[in-house]
Structure 1
Amino acid sequence: MSKLTPMMQQYLEIKARYPDALLLYRMGDFYELFMEDAVTAAQILEIALTSRDKNAENPIPMCGVPYHAADSYIARLIAAGHKVAICDQVEDPKKAKGLVRREVTRVVTPGLVVESRNLSSKDPNYLGAVAEARGTFGLAYLDISTADFQVVEVVGQEALLDELHRVSPKELLVPEGWAAPWLERSCSQRDMALTWLEESAFDRKRCEERLIEHFRIHSLESFGLQHMGPGIQAAGAILEYIRKNHLGDCTHLRKITPYAPGDFMHLDEATVRNLELLSSLSTLGRKGSLLHVLDATLTPMGGRRLQRWLRYPLVRLESIRYRQEAVAEMVDKGSLRASVRGHLGKILDVERIMGRVSVGTANPRDLAALARSLEILPQIKELLAEAESPFLQDMAADWDDLEDVASKIARTLVDDPPLSLANGGVIRRGVDPELDRTTRLALDAKSWMADYEVQEREKTGIASLKVRYNKVFGYFIEVSKANLALVPDHYVRKQTLVNAERFITDELKTFETQVLEADEKRIQLEEQIFVELRGWVAQEAPRILAMAGRVAELDCVACLAEVAATCDYCRPELDESGVIEIRDGRHPVIERFLKDGAFVPNDVMLDQEENQVLLITGPNMAGKSTILRQVALIVLMAQMGGFVPAARARIGLVDRIFTRVGASDDLTRGRSTFMVEMQETAHILLQATPQSLVILDEIGRGTSTFDGLSLAWAVAEYLHDYQDRGVKTLFATHYHELTELADKLPRAKNYNVAVKEFENDILFFHRLLPGGTNRSYGIHVAQLAGLPQEVIVRAREILARLESGNHRPPERHPGAPAGKRSRKKAKTGFQMSLFQPSLEWLRDEIAALDLDRMTPLAALQTLYALKEQIKTGPSGK
């Protein structure tokens, strides 16, 4: 350390306090990084890596970025998974005695980003925290850029992972020493940054004290948190993390919302993925997802709120109807909808502006944008005055125009302020007399000189008196020699010329000093007034954020109405009957990518009396999966409070939607396709209730035919018989043997997706019809997929032989093209092999079976065993 410069000593002392962050150290107009931080940052940012003291034996690596463009560089470092500590100069370098004092003013982490340019406007950016007590997990999550703070408690690891998937925090806080490899693995798979905090940050008593102190409440009962345990610990840990990372008082965080898993429809990770609610499996992005189709919101706040409505559908009838009636009114009143949406489109991201205001990073343009957005509110209130639905009437009754906030900002700032305070020009004239005088001195010295010249001519009676300025002598008064007798005594001679004398006065000296200091003082005064304004706006955060929330909800209602009106959706009837009846239902996403009228609608009837398990057969590409998914999506959209793509729909409330659609190997966890399939199926069977909706597509494909058929059969029986009430289930399968279940289970029905065979081709009608089918048309589908013709011909030959009962494929010459019959002449006559075993034992085995008492599953298992014995002989040899 003794060989280091004072500056590097200061750097190392500060860096030691933030060892897990990249330290951006302010030096003049740059943020510099040194040593390992520089090597890491230079690689990520693709900037030059240089060195300090290049001639030294061990030069110190360094790189730097301009401070005025630091946000974009910080965003790239955060995206790469790093934390960034911003170390600023906290005293004026001109007034510093020795080394300028520096301190870390803020630490930016993946969960603590507030700058809009570093965030996706319609996606939340949550910081989460997890605590655990006796198998109950508390999950708290906060979007500090919008003040959205939520907390929930769930039981078991699986429930926690499902909730984490729905929330998708960018960063997750957990206690040090907490052994949770399953959680680390999950975070890694989701690109979720995992941060370990000291255990004291999760101390129950301290966390409760933090919450009470921050929210200025007498007890946690104010927010309904009093019965929580690990939830309080998780929420308190988030507040401690904010404090440690210099986010200030965060005055915009004025409430925390607890909820229970049962307050909303349960959607597990597989269901969110399989139904493509938030992202498409094909595009791996938003396009092609349900969110992409439904999101016609016009404000960033509305876009984020709609996503939450989609992640958390409602389960209480009165809440759904409350929301649905507002959507219906907006559908019916097209002019009201158009007017409301026209005004909403002018409102910017008020929530995130307030986030920046509260942490002290909002700039003049942020406040100007806030004022312009708030000026729209009175106009929307006028439109809501004519609303009739309770939702919109309640919103109008609680509407806050915030005219005082918009007015104060508009009176203080110029109409189009600059982005930065660095050069002034932010504060409107007339706000502060001292600022006006200083601004005039700094920017309009010539006018002052002209006024002063007129003033002095009147006082002295010297008509030719002049006030001048040059770089050598500064400001002075020039009087011709003919008028020297009129010069007042307080004039001080400064220079003698041939025909004139130059003088200085105390007032002129003062003016000169003021002019020289005026620019700096002007900027200081503007900054002071702006910071005071920003602080005043921060104190109004509860009102402003409450209105931002109302705007978001209004945007969502208008959005759902716009989509319903544009796409010809119907208003679903909702009740608690357990019946799901859909007439001419359509898949909301697929129909948008087809030509008008090209999508084939279908009817579906599910209930708990006669149509509880629908067994759907039909070839690939016929549309089985589409029908299954569209039923689930229609139910979900109805319970969001929106309209649905159907001619008519009656939806009995569903508490959970489960899907098992397709599967792939999970190599990172050492799980085969079949293991993934079975684990997802097990999850459904263990979690489903009689009020759930289960979507199963091709259970048992990942193993042998008889194993798969047996499992599919048993799963269907289990769901039909569950708790003597059963679970509403749509079960698509290629196992045509399952159609026999409709004859054995009273609430099971067969359906098939219609196709028509024409010569060697098939036509897909995509129409769901009663009854089963006993053909898969796999070879036809293979032909449509483009398999070589000789493969298709050969496959048909083999299929014909198998269907005739002969399980030995037709022979062909080695090397002969596939599909061509062998030219070798078949032998005439028949000769039994000398060593052919007798099958008398098989007849005895079959005769001994008591078929009347055998279950279908036992019969299949017996048949499978007999088949194996035929291959090996009765002795198994």
Structure 2
Amino acid sequence: MALTPMMQQYLEIKKQFPDAILFFRLGDFYEMFFEDAKLAAKELEITLTGRDAGEPERVPMCGVPFHAADNYIGKLIDKGYKVAICEQVEDPRTARGIVKREVVRIITPGTLIDGSMLSEKDNNYLVALCQAKQDLYGMAVTDLSTGLFQVTELSGSGAGDILLDEIVRLSPREVLLDQDMMKDARVAALLQGLPSTTLTPFRLNLDQAGCRQILQNHFGSDKLANYNEKQALCLAAAGLLSYLTETQRRKLYHITEITCYSPRAYMMLDGIARRNLEITKSLRDGGTKGTLLGVLDKTRTAMGGRLLKSWLEQPLINLSDIQARLDAVEELVHALLLREELAGALKQIYDLERLTARAAYGTANGRDLTALLGSLEKLPSLYQALQQSRSSLLRSISRQFDTLDDLRDLLSASLADNPPASLRDGGLIKDGYHPEVDRLRAAARDGKAWLAGLEAREKEKTGIKNLKVGFNKVFGYYLEVTKANLHAVPDYYQRRQTLANAERYITPELKEYESMILGAADRLVELEYDLFTEIRGRVADQVQRIQKTAALIAQIDVLVSLAEVATARGYVKPRLSDEGVIEITEGRHPVVEMTLGPGRFVPNDTCLDTANRRLCLITGPNMGGKSTYQRQVALIVLLAQVGSFVPASMAKIGIVDRIFARVGASDDLSSGQSTFMVEMFETRQILDNATARSLVIIDELGRGTSNLEGMAIAQAVIEYLHDVVGCRTLFSTHYHELAELEGLLPGLKNYATAVQEQGDQVVFLRKVVRDKASKSYGVHCARLAGLPGHVIERAAELVQQLEYRQRAAQEVVAGKNQVAVSGQEQAPALFTTEQDWLRQEILALDLTNMTPLQCLNYLSGLQSKLRNNQ
């Protein structure tokens, strides 16, 4: 049997989009067939049915209502699928044969634009990556929902590492990867570690001239003058733009600017530091609760929320730019009235970036434009408040601020107050905006008023008390009479429909008014739709102006948020400089402080420089607060370079080019790396990339191997950071023996977390002091963790025994060394000549780096040897 024409049409279209689930419009539903139907029914948990399509067996089918499709599409996109939207592109009433259909858009994880599918305060990044040659990479980034389009080119040694760090920072929903980079094992491993990222292979078969032409066609040649010689950049940007054109199938009017940036122009943070410092994502669940972003985000707008996250992910290194932000925050901290006026206006502003993008994209509905109008109405009050500002950054924002009065006046005059969600239901245009709309609306209104009185008039004329006027889409308006009253029906009634218990009639007069009402309503809906699309187009024409104002509003929102947090939490303005000093008085961890509540966090001081105090070695027990202290220093430095006030009573911050944070360790099961290998990989990243201007925090290095080797590696790393790199470092360790390095390394100073001992009770004071720890308090930590009492008691006994035996072994060696130094030629009394092997073995011991357990094992082996030699 031959397939039906409709099913043939479906298969022809599906053949063009084999990697997407095809949503095929049939009336009021999007239908899916064959394998797409099976897959969608499973993923969406909807019923799988069948349809007669000309084949011997029914074709698998499932469907979703078109008006609720966004919800279902969003679920598929979240699972990493692509969805091709196939619409009817001609009017079924005028079509001959089967209605023509075309795919009008392909929705992918990186090309979402509908607000219901997007996180309000997160960008939805789509990234294209390419490699032009060895150590030359190009990257292009877009957020289709806002119109952002950024590019960068990375070259030279370390370019690959920086590229990977940028991917981690962006955490894109979708990555386009050319074939050469698909073979890069490091890139593949990184992308596999980003569970929310979809990988899309993409190949652009164009030379440099072809790539430039694609970019010029969209952006214009004047915006590309500085990029002509950047081969990798142009390739990535052209590839990204081509993909957008291929999937969106329309002109992208809201992508108006191509912006080039360099990751090196900001403080650089690798993925390890971002994870361990929990800047925007919690280690626990990936959310913002328990993160620096969670503490600082008091923004009122979605635009401000996205910008604050961007600022935290890209701290500044330019001193004047940082100072401008700090001065603006300072002004808002002290100017309560100004801050409240700005905050009040911001509260009423919707997401201008995404609303404008939808208008330019052609998907904005009446409610979107009324939300835009509501936002524009708040701009004059925001502008008036800005006139009070004095700081350079706020004054600059004020000078650039466009209140968009002409656009506000257009929307205010044209849009109905409460338009419906659909553009085909009428009710979009305000009375008085267009004379023809007013005339048709009056005609429809008058006709309905006539209808309202028709029922009463006909009841009186005919004497039929239960006569009713009704309407349906098939038969139009009618008069309904029950069969018991058919004898009273007058001759001028014309039968239209017979029901089981009634008859439906029309009259010539009713038919005339029906034509007038329905004709006016249909013409009105069509006219309102045309006028609305015209108004939407006029909004799209002003997309650049709106985007510029939206960016300024986002800055105001972030600055107000930072000022509010500073005021509420007692943060202070840091003093930034290009000197190498980091001096913090009574510093606090912003997240832990908020979690504990007011007054419960114990503040600590910090003093680092690039000369005599460049490496602080912090010893002390686990749970003593070493890790919290290190992270708070890193976060205070980061906050200062973002342009925020900081949690301290005083802070002097010498600009940092990078922050490295190696804290804790765990197995990386996905790559088969053990805890120790993860430690070593992260440490290598620091040693390879840190500079003298970096800040390094390392917590408990060497725990993944034996104490002897772990301590040796920790000491070697300390010496390298101190002697070779020369960076400012906070190095915490449970190897308290390393405190002996203070006299050997001139830039190393000892610190310890203070402990108060009362009998067998130990209290951790959470205070970092200029001292060194004498022991690790491991048994006490085990007690706090709730290990059984007899285990704790036995462990304490064993510690005493091991310490005694270690001291005994050290005394033996010390006695032997004293005899050797005296210059006596006779053999020591401790050993006979036959036992010279024993003397040599003991002399070879490195007791300083031996643990108590190793000493005990050595003595046990020595005892066995002596017994065997008796």
Measured against the shorter chain, the TM-score band is 0.7 to 0.9
Partners of 2:302 and 2:223 in 1: how far apart?
34
- Structure 1 position 337 matched with structure 2 position 339: yes
Aligned to 1:160: 163
Could you tell me whether the CA contact under 8 Å between 2:150 and 2:259 is conserved in 1?
Answer: yes
Match of 1:194 in 2: 199
Shift of residue 236, structure 1, vs aligned partner = 1.3
Correspondences of 1:793-872 after superposition (within 5 Å)? 793-805=793-805, 840-844=836-840
Residue matched to 1:184: 188
- Per the alignment, in what secondary structure is the counterpart of residue 96 of structure 1? coil
Q: Does 1:137 align with 2:140?
A: no
CA offsets 1:269-327 (integer angstroms, 9 cap, x no match): 00000001112223432110111001111100000000000000000101100111101
Letter in 1 for 2:524: R
CA distance in 2, matches of 1:473, 1:88: 28
- Counterpart Cα distance in 1 of 2:859 and 2:208: 64
User: Distance between the aligned counterparts of 2:493 and 2:659, measured in 1?
Assistant: 97
Code of the aligned partner of 1:719: L
Other-structure match for 1:445: 447
Q: Deviations over 1:73-98 (max 9, x none)?
A: 00001001100001111111111111
Residue 444 of structure 1 and its aligned partner are, at CA, apart by 2.6
**Is 2:36 the partner of 1:32?**
no
Give the Cα separation in 1 of the matches to 2:601 and 2:379. Answer: 41
CA distance in 1, matches of 2:861, 2:145: 69
Q: Is the 8 A contact 1:132 1:230 kept in 2?
A: yes
Structure 1 residues 369 and 872: alpha-carbon distance in aligned structure 2, compared to 1, 3 A threshold: farther
In structure 2, relative to structure 1, the CA distance for the partners of 1:568 and 1:837 (3 Å cut) is farther
Distance in 1 separating the partners of 2:300 and 2:265: 28
Structure 1: give runs of 5+ residues left out of the alignment: 451-468, 476-493, 809-835
Residue of structure 2 in register with 1:121 after alignment = 120
Give, as a single letter, the amino acid of the residue that structure 1 aligns with 2:176. L
Aligned equivalents of 2:789, 2:857: Cα separation in 1: 37
Q: Distance in 2 between matches of 1:473 and 1:145?
A: 43
Which residue does 2:790 correspond to in 1?
790
Q: Which amino acid aligns with 2:319?
A: L
Q: Report the secondary structure of 1:218's partner residue.
A: helix
AA aligned to 1:22 is I
Partner SS for 2:629: helix
| Cα separation, 1, equivalents of 2:174 and 2:85 | 19
Distance 1:514 1:614, change over 3 A: same
After superposition, the Cα gap between the structure-2 partners of 1:473 and 1:360, relative to the gap in structure 1 and judged at 3 Å, is: closer
SS at match of 1:82: coil
**Cα offset, 1:154, TM superposition:** 2.7
Q: Secondary structure at the match of 1:130?
A: strand
Residue 218 of structure 1, aligned match among 195, 218, 222? 222
Match of 2:523 in 1: 521
Post-superposition CA distance 1:782-824 (Å, at most 9, x none): 101100000001001101100101699xxxxxxxxxxxxxxxx
Structure 2 residue 263 is the aligned partner of structure 1 residue 261: yes
Matches within 5 A, 1:499-518: 513-518=515-520
SS at match of 2:221: coil
Q: Paired residue for 1:552, among 548, 551, 554? A: 554
Of stretches 577-586 and 589-598 in structure 1, the one that deviates more from structure 2 is 589-598
- The reply on whether 1:49 has 2:48 as its aligned counterpart is yes
1:27, distance to aligned residue in structure 2 (A) = 0.5
CA displacement at 1:101 relative to structure 2? 0.7
Q: 1:578 to 1:838 in 2, by over 3 A?
A: farther
Q: What does residue 728 of structure 2 align with?
A: 728
> Cα gap change, 1:649/1:735 in structure 2, threshold over 3 Å: closer, same or farther?
same
Match status 1:173 vs 2:176: yes
Equivalent pair of 1:176/1:199 in contact (CA under 8 Å): no
Tell me, in whole angstroms, the C-alpha distance in 2 between the residues paired with 1:68 and 1:148.
29
Q: Measure, in 2, the Cα distance between the counterparts of 1:392 and 1:4.
A: 67
2:458 aligned partner = none
Distance in 2 separating the partners of 1:121 and 1:331: 27
Counterpart CA distance in 1 for 2:859 and 2:680 is: 25
Measure, in 1, the Cα distance between the counterparts of 2:477 and 2:113.
48
* 1:397-796 paired onto structure 2 within 5 Å: 397-445=399-447, 513-722=515-724, 726-796=726-796
Please tell me the residue identity of whatever aligns with 2:126. Answer: L
Q: Does the Cα contact within 8 Å between 2:162 and 2:263 map onto a contact in 1? A: no
**Could you tell which deviates more after superposition, 862-871 or 97-106?**
862-871
Do 1:50 and 1:62's aligned partners in 2 also have CA atoms closer than 8 Å? Answer: yes
CA distance in 1, matches of 2:743, 2:40: 68
Kindly indicate whether the alpha-carbon contact (under 8 Å) linking 1:713 and 1:857 is maintained by their aligned counterparts in 2: no
Does the aligned pair in 2 maintain the 1:93–1:100 contact within 8 Å?
A: yes
Match of 2:70 in 1: 71
Report the residue type matching 1:154 in the other structure.
L
Q: Which amino acid aligns with 1:8?
A: M
Please state how far the C-alpha of 1:43 moved relative to its aligned partner.
0.7
Q: Tell me by how many angstroms 1:770 deviates.
A: 0.4
Please report how far the alpha carbon of residue 527 of structure 1 lies from its aligned counterpart in structure 2 after TM superposition. 0.8
CA distance in 2, matches of 1:381, 1:581: 39
How far the C-alpha of 1:159 sits from its partner, in A, is 2.1
Question: Given residue 220 of structure 2, which amino acid in structure 1 is its aligned partner?
Answer: R
> Which residue of structure 2 lines up, in the alignment, with residue 491 of structure 1?
none
Amino acid at match of 2:312: L
- Report percent identity of matched pairs: 46
Residues 558, 64 of structure 1: alpha-carbon distance in 2 compared, 3 angstrom cutoff:
same
Going from structure 1 to structure 2, the CA distance change for 1:83 and 1:633 (only over 3 Å counts) comes to same
CA–CA distance in structure 1, aligned partners of residues 140 and 153 of structure 2:
9
Partner Cα distance (2:382, 2:675) in 1? 53
TM-score, normalised by the number of residues in structure 2: 0.87
The aligned amino acid for 2:141 is Y
Q: CA deviation at 1:870?
A: 5.2
Deviating more after overlay: 303-312 vs 146-155 = 146-155
Alpha carbons 2:299, 2:561 under 8 Å: kept: yes
Offset of residue 701 of structure 1: 0.5
Q: CA deviation at 1:360?
A: 0.9
Counterparts of 1:316 and 1:49 in 2: how far apart (Å)?
59
- The separation in 1 between residues aligned to 2:443 and 2:592, in whole angstroms, is 67
Matched, 1:385 2:390: no
CA shift, 1:362, in A, is 0.7
Q: How many residues align?
A: 798
Q: Which residue of 1 aligns with 2:105?
A: 106
Distance 2:572 2:859 in 1: 54
Provide the rounded CA distance (Å) in 2 between the counterparts of 1:745 and 1:363: 68
Shift of 1:57: 3.5
1:286 aligned residue (288, 292, 312) = 288
Q: How big is the shift at 1:760? A: 1.5
Answer whether contact 1:706 1:864 (CA < 8 A) is retained: no
Secondary structure, counterpart of 2:183 in structure 1: coil
Matching residue of 1:830: none
Tell me, yes or no, if the aligned pair for 2:624 and 2:764 is still in contact at 8 Å.
Answer: yes
Give the Cα separation in 2 of the matches to 1:552 and 1:470. Answer: 53
Question: What is the rounded CA distance, in whole Å, between the counterparts of 1:845 and 1:496 in structure 2?
Answer: 124
Deviations 1:566-590 (A, max 9, x none): 0000000000111000000000000
SS in 2 for 1:245: helix
4+ runs deviating over 4 angstroms: 446-450, 469-475, 494-497, 502-505, 508-514, 836-839, 845-849, 856-860, 862-874
- The DSSP-based 3-state class of the residue aligned with 1:584 is strand
Amino acid at match of 2:682: E
Task: Provide the rounded CA distance (Å) in 2 between the counterparts of 1:859 and 1:596.
Answer: 42
Matched position secondary structure for 1:519:
helix
Aligned partner letter, 1:33:
M
C-alpha separation between the residues in 1 aligned to 2:331 and 2:747? Answer: 39
Give the gaps of 5 or more residues in structure 2: 453-468, 479-490, 495-505, 809-831
Instruction: Find the residue that maps to 2:187 and give its secondary structure.
Output: helix
Partner SS, residue 105 of structure 2: strand
Offset from partner CA, 1:483-527 (integer Å, 9 cap, x none):
xxxxxxxxxxx9899xxxx9999xx99986554422222111111
**C-alpha contact (below 8 Å) 1:801/1:807 kept by paired residues:** no
